[in-house]
Amino acid sequence: MDPPSAAPAPEGTRPEGARPDGAPTGGPSAGAAPTAGACLLTRAGEVLRPALALYLDLHAHPETSGHESRTAGRFAERLAAAGCEVTRGVGGHGVVGVLRNGDGPRVWLRAELDALPVRERTGLPYASDSGAMHACGHDLHLAAAAGATDLLARLRDRWRGTLVVLGQPAEETLSGAEAMLRDGLYERFGRPGAVLAQHAAPLPSGTVAHTPDGTPVTGAGAVLEVVLHGRGGHAATPGLALDPVVTAAAVITRLHALTARTGPHADRMALNVGMVRAGTAANVVPESAALGVGLRARADADLDRLLTAVHRAVHAESAAAGAPREPEVRVVSRSAALRSDLTATESVRRAQAGLLGASRVLPWPGSLATEDFPLFGDAGARFHGQRGIPLVYWMLGVADPGRPAPDRSAAPAGTPAGTPARSREAPPAPPAPPAPLAPPAPNHSPRFAPHVGSALRPAVAALAAAALDRFAAG
């Protein structure tokens, strides 16, 4: 539902070029005829109010992986309002909206529904207080996808084909894409001509970034559950027990040394033990300890080597401790490195340069973040049976672009024009440099806070421009 017209947007959330009530105030300045990209940015202003309302609502009410029922409902409502035929419950809480506009390509947009189990520390007036948080920008992705759908519905004269919009559950656990595909996603809604997605990144708002020359946008990754066994007993008689917590400590230390010693490309790997669980009381030696381990690598082959090394290290430390049972190492989920299609990406990049300006389309070096988005392409062929589906994935700037520092060399108020601020005996000091902006909090931080006021309009327009480009490509 749109916010009441009389209510101003919360501080820091008013979109650029909007009145205090959130409505747009036009577009490019008067003068030269606006470009097609500038016109698209202007038209994006028409959909900002409902997109912003969705963002604020979702940010305040995050739901973690597998529990995205309310989020799915709100996203489905916005897609239906834009004219989509909406199906819910695809692969769990997945949402699919279909907007038909004659014969033509089938272009898919994907956004993620889930939040993280992180307690928010942003201090924003619309912050979550539930213990979960949209700390990776999925609320912004959903708002942008809903806004782009609304915008494309208003621009039917500029494209022909079918727009398919996904609200994907459980991306953070790398399981939602597989679940939707196993539920017959492509059989039910048609083979995509292209699948598009964007992701919030600590770049200035109003910019996008693509990887060059087939460099992976994100790395390969796996989530492991490791269970180490011991013998329970009384804390007063540790010699009669075998403490799996001690074994777990040795395993953690050993694992963190692996990325520096596994193959010639150790700088292309990362390992994190993000969860340790053992015991119920301080005076009891537990029977077992469990670890949650995340592995990341630039390439799939590097991830294979790291997985082998982890198995070897876990079993060696367990044997050295004299564990009564073999440890259990289970791969909870795995994702391939994400590579965007070269031809489609170059075309989308040009379209976004026409929209935002060439200087605002940046190179992206790739990262060790992981995604299940590759499953919509060749990496998921075992689930959907298709090959050659182009994927295009780019990073979206969401950081506060900042404001110019005040001119500290200006004369104090009341100083007559033409006279220096200091006496003639002491020449004025050079202007002080502007104070550096604090770096934005990274994704997954409890202080992660996209500057939605400047990020939302370009997010909507960049996604719509990419979709229009793919429709035009046929």
Q: Which of 218-222, 326-330, 412-416, 443-447 has the lowest mean pLDDT?
A: 412-416
Percentage of residues of the chain with pLDDT beyond 90 = 80
Q: What is the pLDDT averaged over residues 187-206?
A: 98
Position 408 scores a pLDDT of 33
Lookup result for tokens 């003639």 = 424
Tens of pLDDT, residue by residue over 288-297, are 999 999 999 9
16 has pLDDT over 70? no
Residue (of 116, 121, 131, 141) closest to 55 by Cα position: 141
The helix (run of H) or strand (run of E) holding residue 315 is helix 300-321
Q: What is the spatial distance between Cα 349 and Cα 462, in angstroms, rounded to a whole number? A: 10
The tokens for 163 are 């727009």
Residue with the bigger pLDDT between 21 and 68: it is 68
The helix (run of H) or strand (run of E) holding residue 196 is strand 194-204
Q: Which of 21-30, 75-84, 397-406 has the lowest mean pLDDT?
A: 21-30
Q: What is the spatial distance between Cα 226 and Cα 271, in angstroms, rounded to a whole number? A: 14
Position 214 scores a pLDDT of 84
The tokens for 474 are 């046929």
Q: What is the pLDDT averaged over residues 366-372?
A: 94
The tokens for 152 are 């494309």
Position 260 scores a pLDDT of 74
Q: What is the spatial distance between Cα 119 and Cα 64, in angstroms, rounded to a whole number? A: 12
Instruction: Calculate the CA 473 to chain-centre distance.
Output: 27
Amino acid at 92: G
The tokens for 40 are 């698209």
> Could you tell me how many helices (H) and strands (E) the chain has, helices first?
11, 14
Q: If pLDDT is split at 50, 70 and 90, which confidence band does 259 have?
A: confident
Position 407 scores a pLDDT of 39
- Say whether 69 sits in a helix, a strand or coil: helix
Domain 36-217+338-401+440-473: give its CATH superfamily.
Zn peptidases (3.40.630.10)
The helix (run of H) or strand (run of E) holding residue 457 is helix 452-473
> Which distant-in-sequence residues (6+ apart) come within 8 Å of 345 by Cβ?
210, 211, 392, 394
187 has pLDDT over 50? yes
pTM of this structure? 0.83
419 has pLDDT over 50? no
Position 266 scores a pLDDT of 54
Position 432 scores a pLDDT of 53
The helix (run of H) or strand (run of E) holding residue 84 is none
Residue (of 224, 116, 233) closest to 171 by Cα position: 116
Rg (CA), the chain: 26
412 has pLDDT over 80? no
Is residue 434 within 8 Å of residue 409, measured between CB atoms?
no
Tens of pLDDT, residue by residue over 20-47, are 333 333 333 334 445 677 789 999 999 9
Tens of pLDDT, residue by residue over 339-357, are 999 999 999 999 999 999 9
Residue with the bigger pLDDT between 48 and 263: it is 48
CATH number for the 220-335 domain, one of 3.30.70.360, 3.90.1150.10, 1.10.3720.10, 3.40.630.30? Answer: 3.30.70.360
Q: What is the spatial distance between Cα 383 and Cα 373, in angstroms, rounded to a whole number? A: 13
Percentage of residues of the chain with pLDDT beyond 70 = 84
The overall average pLDDT reported for the chain is 88
Q: Which of 63-72, 297-306, 312-321 has the lowest mean pLDDT?
A: 297-306
DSSP string, 113-127: --BBS----S--TT-
Q: What is the pLDDT averaged over residues 101-126?
A: 98
334 has pLDDT over 70? yes
Q: Bridge-partner residues for 107, per DSSP?
A: 163, 194
- Say whether 352 sits in a helix, a strand or coil: helix
Residue (of 117, 168, 119, 180) closest to 141 by Cα position: 168
User: What φ, ψ does residue 111 adopt, rounded to 5°?
Assistant: -135, 155
Position 267 scores a pLDDT of 65
State how beta strands 94-101 and 85-90 pair. Answer: antiparallel
Q: What is the spatial distance between Cα 68 and Cα 374, in angstroms, rounded to a whole number? A: 22
Position 26 scores a pLDDT of 35
Q: If pLDDT is split at 50, 70 and 90, which confidence band does 13 have?
A: low
Q: What is the spatial distance between Cα 177 and Cα 467, in angstroms, rounded to a whole number? A: 20
318 has pLDDT over 50? yes
Characterise 277 by phi-psi region: left (phi > 0), alpha (psi -120 to 50), beta (else). beta
78 has pLDDT over 70? yes
191 has pLDDT over 80? yes
Residue (of 406, 408, 410, 377) closest to 393 by Cα position: 377
Q: Bridge-partner residues for 221, per DSSP?
A: 296, 335
Q: Which of 300-314, 370-384, 403-417 has the lowest mean pLDDT?
A: 403-417
Is residue 1 exposed (0-12), middle (13-18) or buried (19+ Cβ within 10 Å)?
exposed
Angle at 179 (CA atoms; ends 136, 1), nearest 5 degrees: 55
Residue spans of the domains in the chain: they are: 36-217+338-401+440-473, 220-335
Q: If pLDDT is split at 50, 70 and 90, which confidence band does 268 have?
A: confident
Strands of 328-335's sheet, edge to edge? Answer: 269-278, 288-297, 220-229, 328-335
Q: What is the pLDDT averaged over residues 451-472?
A: 98
CA distances from 118 to 69, 81, 128, 362 (A): 19, 31, 10, 30
Q: If pLDDT is split at 50, 70 and 90, which confidence band does 402 have?
A: confident
Instruction: Calculate the CA 379 to chain-centre distance.
Output: 20
User: What φ, ψ does residue 136 adopt, rounded to 5°?
Assistant: -130, 10
Residue with the bigger pLDDT between 433 and 216: it is 216
